Amino acid sequence: MNWDWEKLQDKRQRQFGSGPDFKGLGDEFKRLGDFNFNVPGGPKVIFIILALLWLASGIYIVEPGEVGVVKRFGAYDRTTGPGPHYHIPFPVESVLTPKVAEVQKVEVGYATTGMKQEGGFQYRSVPEEALMLTGDDNIVDVQFIVQFQIGDPVEWLFRIQRPVPTVKAAAEAAMREVIGNKTIDSVLTTGKLEIQNTTKELLQSILDRYNSGVTIVAVQLQDVHAPKDVMEAFKDVASAMEDKDRYINEAESYANDILPKARGQAAALLNDAQGYRESVVRKAQGEASRFLAMLAEYNKAKDITHDRLFIEAMEEIFSNPELEKVIISDDALKQVVPYLPLDRQGRVKSGDKGGK
């Protein structure tokens, strides 16, 4: 095939004026044409190269943490694991590789808008998602995230048209149902862990009924508070409840400290009383035994025993240095006024001392 490039250039110059010189480019096209039409088998070689490239396009690699889902004419055909694989090239078969090991999350009640200049993330509240009604007819602002994984890639790809928005809508519905069965005090204080666990179970059951192929990893409350209009009043209530708990803890701590001491003191008093009782009883029994023995001797010899008892009593009195003695004979006693130490009687009685 011969092209008249000089006539072509003249024609272009007449139409567009002087322009770039295409003479060298024309030589290249000429040589390419000579290759295609003058070399034996030229079109067949090109066709074979294109066919090989088309066949090679069926090679694909599934990365770790992914699953290969092969579609044949748009319908599910088979699933492949990590590694190199082959499928019939387009348009017969195609491959999707969802990341089944990746933990995805959706935000409910708020949205991340970007990074702050000083670090961290910027958030904005989404009231239509966050405001929920509790079981005691109070409004509460609930912000939470749902973490999930692809459990069944086939159901994830073919059962639901928009899986991520579906997970978010189901999570919001599950949380509203759980919050609707709780009081606002429980939601704001002690019931958060139970709310998370119950919402996770309910959300998983909803997604299982949808055949969504989603596995819920966790439901985490990020922020739970009363609406802004009544925020201060709820803060006062929460502060009062904290003070109540603190006073209860302080009282229990004081009781735990004082009660063992009181029990110990009571046990010590009981032991002392028991010991004193035993001592008094045994002393009284001893005195009674001694008296009975003495009575037996007295019955045998009354005069001697009487004199011996008198002598022993007088010996005990006179030998006691703490007793003040005044000795007056019978004759002197008839002639003088009896001596009574009235000035010492008070002191003697107060000191548990006797005098004769």
Q: What is the pLDDT of residue 215?
A: 95
Domain boundary among the residues 71, 96, 121 is at 96
CA distance 239 to 211: 45
Lowest mean per-residue pLDDT among 23-27, 43-47, 65-69, 150-154:
23-27
- Mean of pLDDT values over 313-341: 74
Same domain, residue pair 220 and 262: no
Query: Which residues make beta-bridge pairs with 106?
Result: 146
- Mean of pLDDT values over 41-62: 84
Lowest mean per-residue pLDDT among 1-5, 81-85, 218-222, 316-320:
1-5
Nearest to 95 by CA among 79, 112, 110: 79
pLDDT band at 202 (very low <50, low <70, confident <90, very high): very high
Q: What is the token pair recorded at 237? A: 């209530």
Q: What is the pLDDT of residue 115?
A: 64
Domain boundary among the residues 96, 118, 133 is at 96
- The structure's pTM equals 0.55
**Length of the chain (residues):** 356
Look up the domain containing 299 and give its range. 244-315
234 assigned to some structural domain = no
Same domain, residue pair 114 and 197: yes
Q: What is the token pair recorded at 320? A: 């006691």
pLDDT band at 1 (very low <50, low <70, confident <90, very high): very low
Lowest mean per-residue pLDDT among 24-33, 192-201, 231-240:
24-33
The residue written with tokens 């579906």 in the block is 166
Same domain, residue pair 203 and 269: no
Number of structural domains found in the chain: 4
Mention every residue, 6+ apart, whose C-beta is less than 8 A from residue 190.
none
Question: CA neighbours within 13 Å on the CB side: how many for 70?
Answer: 19
Question: CA neighbours within 13 Å on the CB side: how many for 216?
Answer: 25
- Mean of pLDDT values over 60-77: 91
239 assigned to some structural domain = no
pLDDT band at 238 (very low <50, low <70, confident <90, very high): confident
Q: What is the pLDDT of residue 354?
A: 43
134 in Cβ contact with 127 (< 8 Å): no
159 assigned to some structural domain = yes
Instruction: Output helix, strand, coil percentages for the chain, rounded to the nearest 5.
Output: 55, 20, 25
- Mean of pLDDT values over 236-243: 81
- Mean of pLDDT values over 200-223: 94
Q: What is the pLDDT of residue 331?
A: 75
Q: What is the pLDDT of residue 171?
A: 95
pLDDT band at 8 (very low <50, low <70, confident <90, very high): low
Cα–Cα distances (Å) from 99 to 14, 65, 96, in that order, read: 62, 6, 10
Same domain, residue pair 174 and 113: yes
- Mean of pLDDT values over 23-34: 52
Lowest mean per-residue pLDDT among 231-235, 274-278, 293-297, 347-351:
347-351
- Is a pLDDT exceeding 80 seen at residue 242? yes
CA distance 347 to 22: 147
pLDDT band at 339 (very low <50, low <70, confident <90, very high): low
pLDDT band at 325 (very low <50, low <70, confident <90, very high): confident
Query: Which residues make beta-bridge pairs with 213?
Result: none
Same domain, residue pair 160 and 214: yes
Mention every residue, 6+ apart, whose C-beta is less than 8 A from residue 112.
121, 122, 123
Q: What is the pLDDT of residue 134?
A: 92
pLDDT above 90: percentage of residues in the chain? 35
Same domain, residue pair 301 and 350: no
Question: What digits encode the pLDDT tens for the residues 81-136?
Answer: 898 989 888 889 899 999 999 999 999 999 888 766 566 678 888 889 999 999 98
Torsion, Cα of 127, 128, 132, 137 (10° steps) = 100
127 assigned to some structural domain = yes
Question: What digits encode the pLDDT tens for the residues 126-184?
Answer: 889 999 999 988 889 999 999 999 999 999 999 888 999 999 999 999 999 999 999 98
CA distance 287 to 295: 12
Q: What is the pLDDT of residue 226?
A: 82
As a whole number, the mean pLDDT across the chain is: 81
Domain boundary among the residues 61, 79, 96 is at 96
Q: What is the pLDDT of residue 231?
A: 75
